[in-house]
Amino acid sequence: MKRVELKNISKTYDGKEQVIKGIDVTIKPGEFFVLVGPSGCGKSTMLRMIAGLEEISNGDLFIGEENVTKHLPSKRNLSMVFQNYALYPHLTVEQNITFGLHTKKLSKQEQKDRCTETAAMLGLSELVNRKPRQLSGGQRQRVALARAIVTQAPICLMDEPLSNLDAKLRAKMRSEIRQIQRKLGITMIYVTHDQTEAMTMADRMMILHNGEVQQIGHPLDIYNHPANTFVASFIGSPPMNLLNVEVKEQSLFFADNRSISLSEEVTQHLASHSRITAGIRPEHIQLAKEGKISFFANVLNVEVLGTETLITFEMGNKQWIAKWNGQWNIEIGRKIPLTIQEENLFFFHTESGDYLYHKAKIEERPLVEEAIL
């Protein structure tokens, strides 16, 4: 296992356009580290710089204790899985898996033994004599993964490897990749634009936007404590509801004259801000009981997903979404009473988007053993 350290890494094209801006991060040995962000944010470029496929304009890259900034890709002792599989169509599965091993000067028997072991691990044992065209998308992805694993490199890079698969197969492959990474103990750096993949797979993750780091941390820490409105709106499904509001007389006032009362504690924390951005997760907007109504809302759309229901309504000048457990039969256009607890509200600076205040302290659930006891 080896660590990967980026020190003030940046990437500039044609001496003008800076697509990666001063990245500083240390990826721990054996860590599953995810780079996540929207298309064009620079995450694949960053991965290719680590691999040596893109030149680093400024800064230093360390693998272990060695500065590899100027090293060729072949000298960095890592493997990579690409988005498009990159299999050789004229070679069998076995030949694709062992293709890169000849450069390591391994004997034919050692290559065969490694291939047999890796193929068994990934459920490819019965497919080793087939050509890529005879395989499904999931099987091709396994072959690409096997080719990376068989090298036994301590670091594996993955560039959106599941984006070409259907939803059911993606979920299965997420679990398989994570289990293999734990079993082998390798350091894995994984690029995705899918926040669900990031949340379910990462030990830690980095959120990128326009080439800049927005936040680095454990998935639940980022979900519970977003650093700014971009992170709040990007992480979560559906994303956090956000709206510019006015703080006045211990109340939040929305653009449509609706308001939510605030405690003195919250009002004091927001005393220097008359205009702020308020945010709330969809699961924290609840159907109000009598006497606890925050406001009424007209239902614009209802999506029943089986285990949960998404209700879309207008709030201020934006559409918000509430997420309720179970199956709710609600008519479009119906006016429903909703409630929001102030401890579930997040507050951000309107202009910069930076986090300001959140009243609640979110505590982790106990371990299963403790819950049973």
What domains lie within the chain, and their CATH numbers? 4-230 (3.40.50.300), 240-358 (2.40.50.140)
CB 313 within 8 A of CB 297: yes
| H-helix segments, 20-136 | 43-51, 93-98, 108-121
Looking at 22-36, 110-124, 227-241, 358-372, which range is the least confident one?
358-372
User: Which residue is it, tokens 């100027």?
Assistant: 70
pLDDT at 89 over 60: yes
pLDDT at 105 over 90: no
Indicate the pLDDT class of residue 333, thresholds 50, 70 and 90.
Answer: very high
359-365 mean pLDDT: 64
pLDDT at 347 over 60: yes
Widest pairwise Cα distance in the chain: 79
Q: What is the pLDDT of residues 200-224, one digit of tens each?
A: 999 999 999 999 999 999 999 999 9
Indicate the pLDDT class of residue 364, thresholds 50, 70 and 90.
Answer: low
231-257 mean pLDDT: 88
Q: Which amino acid is at 166?
A: D
- Closest listed residue to residue 58, CA positions, set 47, 69, 44: 69
Indicate the pLDDT class of residue 370, thresholds 50, 70 and 90.
Answer: low
| Reduced DSSP (H G I as helix, E B as strand, rest coil) percent helix, strand, coil of the chain, to 5 | 30, 35, 35
pLDDT at position 170 is 84
pLDDT at 19 over 60: yes
pLDDT at position 2 is 87
